[in-house]
C-alpha cells in the first residue's frame, strides 16, 4: 500500500511539472510570435509556481524572458528589467541538481550548500554541478546593454538636475538591466536607494535598502590596475587573471589590486533612518541590531525605530542594553526614566533621572523630570485634602496628614527644581515651577523672591 501512495504522489508531481513546462513553452512561443495577450495568459497560470525547485533553469529562463518581453511591450521598463535580471540568474554561473529518489524528480539549487542540505534531509542522489548557458541572454544582450547605458545616463542626468525620485527609478532600472547581461548591478541599486532617500521617498528607499541587505551587499569590490607600457597610461582590469596575462605578455607593468571600502554599516544605518522617517517597524531591525550589537550609533537608531513605531517595550529594552554599550550616555538614562514615568514606575524613573544627572550634571530636563516624578503622588493627597474640609476631628486630622505629606514631596523636589533654574535663569517655566514648589513647601520668603523673578521673566 505504501508503494502505491508513493507512486501516485510522484505521478501527481510529474503532471504538475509537465503542466508548468507546457505553459512556459506556450508563453515563450506566444512572445516570439508577438502575441502578448496569449503570453500573459500562459504566464499567469504558472506565476505562483516559479519558486518551485523542480523547474529546470532553462524553463525558468524562458519564463522570465517571456515576462520581460511582455513588460517591455507594455511600456513597463522597470518590470522588464527585473524580469530580464531574473532570467540572467538561470543563464549565468552554476546550479546544482539532485535527483529525489522518492518522487523521481530532479530538483535544482543555486548553491552546493543548499543541495547538500537537501541530500542530508531526504532520499537523494549525489548533487551534480551544472554550468549554465547564456542562450536567451545572448539573444537580448546587445539591446539590453544599449538600453542599460541609456538608462544610466538618464539616471545621472536626473540626479544632477535634482530630480531624485526619477534618478532612483532609473538607477533601479539600470541595476536590473546590468544583472540581465551578467553584470553586477548592486552599485546602481544602492544609488537608487540613496536617490529615493534624498527625495524623502522613505518607503521606496527602505524597500531597496532591504533588498540589498538581504542580498548581502557590502559595496566591497576589487579591481586591478597596471601601467600600459606603450602609452604610460593606467589601465583597469576586471579580474586578476586578465591583469596577470597582460603583465606576462609584457603589455603592462606594476599590476596592483585596488579595493573599494565596505558601505555595509552605512547601508544598515540608512535603512533604519528610513524606518524612523516613516514611524514604521520592520523585522529586519533585529537582523541589523544583532549584527551590530555593540555599535552605539546603530543601537541608538534601532531604539529610535522602536520609539517612533510605538514599540515602547522594545524601546525600553533597547535603551537598557545601550547603557551597557555606552554607560556615559546621559540621554539613554533620561529616556529610560521617561518610559518608566509613563508606566507610573516612579521609583525606577527617579533612579534613572539621577543616573542621567550623575553622567551629565548640566542635564536640565533630567532635574525637572526628577522633580515632577517626586511630586506625582500628590494627586492622591489633594483628593484626600479636598474630601476632608469639614470641622470634625477626623477630617481635620486627615487634612493635616495629607497636607504634610504633600509638603514633604515638594520639599524633596525643590533641590532638583533649584538646580534646573540655576542652569537656565532665563526660563519662565523653571521659575514658575520653583515658585510653586516654595509655596507648597511653605517657604514663603523664597516664594516671594521667586515670584518677583517669575514676573520679570513673564514680561520678556
Q: Are residues 6 and 113 in the same domain?
A: yes
Which residue carries 554599550 as its cell?
325
Taking residues 33-43, report their average pLDDT. 94
Tell me the sheet residues that pair with 129. Answer: 96
Q: Are residues 319 and 390 in the same domain?
A: yes
Is 179:88 a contact under the CB 8 Å cutoff? yes
Q: Are residues 344 and 297 in the same domain?
A: yes
CATH code, domain with 422: 1.25.40.10
> Which cell goes with 129?
554541478
Domain termination site, one of 103, 137, 171: 137
Domain termination site, one of 230, 260, 290: 260
Q: Is residue 128 part of a domain?
A: yes
Phi, psi of 137 (to 5 degrees): -60, -40
CB neighbours of residue 344 within 10 Å? 10
Taking residues 96-119, report their average pLDDT. 90
Q: Is residue 31 part of a domain?
A: yes
Q: Is residue 179 part of a domain?
A: no
Q: Is residue 162 part of a domain?
A: no
Phi, psi of 317 (to 5 degrees): -60, -45
Please, which residues have CB within 8 angstroms of residue 138's CB and are 6 or more apart in sequence? none
Give me the pLDDT at residue 9, please: 37
Q: Does residue 14 register a pLDDT over 90?
A: no
Give the DSSP letter string of 88-143.
HHTTSSEEEEEEETTTTEEEEESSHHHHHHHHHTSSB---EEEE---HHHHHHHHH
Range of the domain at 237: 221-260
Q: Is residue 201 part of a domain?
A: no
Q: If DSSP codes are grouped into helix, strand and coil, which group holds residue 395?
A: helix
Read off the pLDDT band of 10 (50, 70, 90).
very low
Q: Angle between the 2-32 and 57-73 helix axes, to the nearest 10 degrees?
A: 40
Q: How many domains does the chain have?
A: 3
> 281-291: per-residue pLDDT in tens?
999 999 998 89
Q: Is residue 189 part of a domain?
A: no
Q: Are residues 240 and 318 in the same domain?
A: no
Q: What is the pTM of this model?
A: 0.66
Residue 374 or 384, more confident: 374
At residue 427's C-alpha, the angle toward residues 423 and 428, to 5°, is: 145
Q: Are residues 347 and 426 in the same domain?
A: yes
Query: How many CA atoms lie less than 13 Å away from 284 in the CB half-sphere?
Result: 21
Q: Does residue 5 register a pLDDT over 60?
A: no
CA distances from 140 to 95, 144, 147, 184, 438 (A): 22, 6, 10, 17, 83
Q: Are residues 431 and 303 in the same domain?
A: yes
Report which listed range, 11-20, 223-232, 332-341, 347-356, is most confident.
347-356
Tell me the sheet residues that pair with 108. Answer: 97
Q: Are residues 225 and 284 in the same domain?
A: no
Taking residues 390-405, report their average pLDDT. 88
Q: Are residues 250 and 288 in the same domain?
A: no
Domain termination site, one of 137, 162, 185: 137
Q: Are residues 43 and 88 in the same domain?
A: yes
Q: Does residue 153 register a pLDDT over 80?
A: yes
Phi, psi of 132 (to 5 degrees): -80, 150
Q: Are residues 323 and 247 in the same domain?
A: no
How far apart (Å, rounded) are the C-alpha atoms in residues 448 and 227? 84
Q: Are residues 298 and 423 in the same domain?
A: yes
Q: Does residue 4 register a pLDDT over 50?
A: no
Amino acid at each position: 500500500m505504501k508503494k502505491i501512495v508513493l507512486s501516485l504522489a510522484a505521478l501527481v508531481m510529474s503532471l504538475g511539472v509537465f503542466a508548468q513546462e507546457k505553459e512556459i513553452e506556450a508563453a515563450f512561443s506566444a512572445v516570439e510570435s508577438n502575441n502578448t495577450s496569449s503570453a500573459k495568459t500562459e504566464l499567469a497560470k504558472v506565476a505562483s509556481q516559479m519558486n518551485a525547485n523542480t523547474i529546470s533553469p532553462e524553463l525558468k529562463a524562458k519564463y522570465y524572458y517571456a515576462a520581460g518581453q511582455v513588460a517591455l511591450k507594455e511600456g513597463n521598463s522597470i518590470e522588464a528589467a527585473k524580469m530580464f535580471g531574473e532570467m540572467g540568474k538561470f543563464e549565468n554561473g552554476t546550479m546544482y541538481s539532485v535527483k529525489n529518489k522518492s518522487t523521481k524528480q530532479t530538483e535544482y539549487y543555486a548553491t552546493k550548500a543548499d543541495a547538500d542540505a537537501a541530500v542530508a534531509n531526504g532520499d537523494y542522489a549525489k548533487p551534480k554541478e551544472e554550468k549554465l548557458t547564456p542562450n536567451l541572454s545572448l539573444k537580448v544582450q546587445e539591446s539590453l546593454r544599449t538600453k542599460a547605458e541609456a538608462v544610466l545616463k538618464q539616471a545621472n542626468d536626473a540626479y544632477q538636475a535634482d530630480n531624485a525620485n526619477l534618478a532612483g527609478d532609473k538607477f533601479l532600472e539600470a541595476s536590473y538591466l546590468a544583472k540581465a547581461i551578467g553584470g553586477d548591478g548592486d552599485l546602481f541599486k544602492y544609488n537608487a536607494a540613496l536617490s529615493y532617500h534624498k527625495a524623502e521617498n522613505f518607503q521606496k528607499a527602505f524597500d531597496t535598502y532591504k533588498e540589498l541587505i538581504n542580498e548581502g551587499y557590502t559595496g566591497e569590490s576589487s579591481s586591478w590596475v597596471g601601467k600600459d607600457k606603450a602609452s604610460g597610461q593606467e589601465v583597469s582590469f576586471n579580474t586578476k587573471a586578465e591583469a596577470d596575462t597582460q603583465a606576462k605578455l609584457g603589455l603592462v607593468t606594476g599590476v596592483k589590486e585596488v579595493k573599494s571600502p565596505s558601505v555595509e554599516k552605512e547601508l544598515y544605518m540608512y535603512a533604519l533612518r528610513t524606518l524612523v522617517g516613516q514611524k514604521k517597524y520592520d523585522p529586519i531591525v533585529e537582523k541589523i541590531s544583532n549584527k551590530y550589537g555593540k555599535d552605539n550609533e546603530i543601537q541608538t537608531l534601532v531604539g529610535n525605530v522602536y520609539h517612533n513605531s510605538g514599540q515602547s517595550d522594545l524601546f525600553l529594552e533597547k535603551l537598557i542594553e545601550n547603557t551597557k554599550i555606552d554607560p556615559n550616555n546621559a540621554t539613554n538614562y533620561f529616556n529610560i526614566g521617561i518610559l518608566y514615568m509613563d508606566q507610573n514606575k516612579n521609583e525606577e524613573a527617579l533612579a534613572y533621572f539621577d543616573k542621567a544627572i550623575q553622567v551629565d550634571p548640566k542635564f536640565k530636563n533630567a532635574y525637572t523630570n526628577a522633580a515632577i516624578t517626586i511630586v506625582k503622588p500628590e494627586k492622591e493627597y489633594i483628593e484626600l485634602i479636598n474630601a476632608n474640609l469639614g470641622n470634625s476631628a477626623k477630617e481635620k486630622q486627615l487634612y493635616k496628614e495629607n497636607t504634610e505629606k504633600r509638603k514633604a514631596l515638594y520639599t524633596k523636589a525643590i533641590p532638583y527644581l533649584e538646580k534646573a533654574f540655576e542652569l537656565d535663569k532665563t526660563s519662565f517655566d523653571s521659575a514658575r515651577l520653583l515658585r510653586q514648589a516654595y509655596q507648597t513647601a511653605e517657604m514663603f520668603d523664597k516664594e516671594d523672591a521667586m515670584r518677583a523673578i517669575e514676573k520679570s521673566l513673564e514680561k520678556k
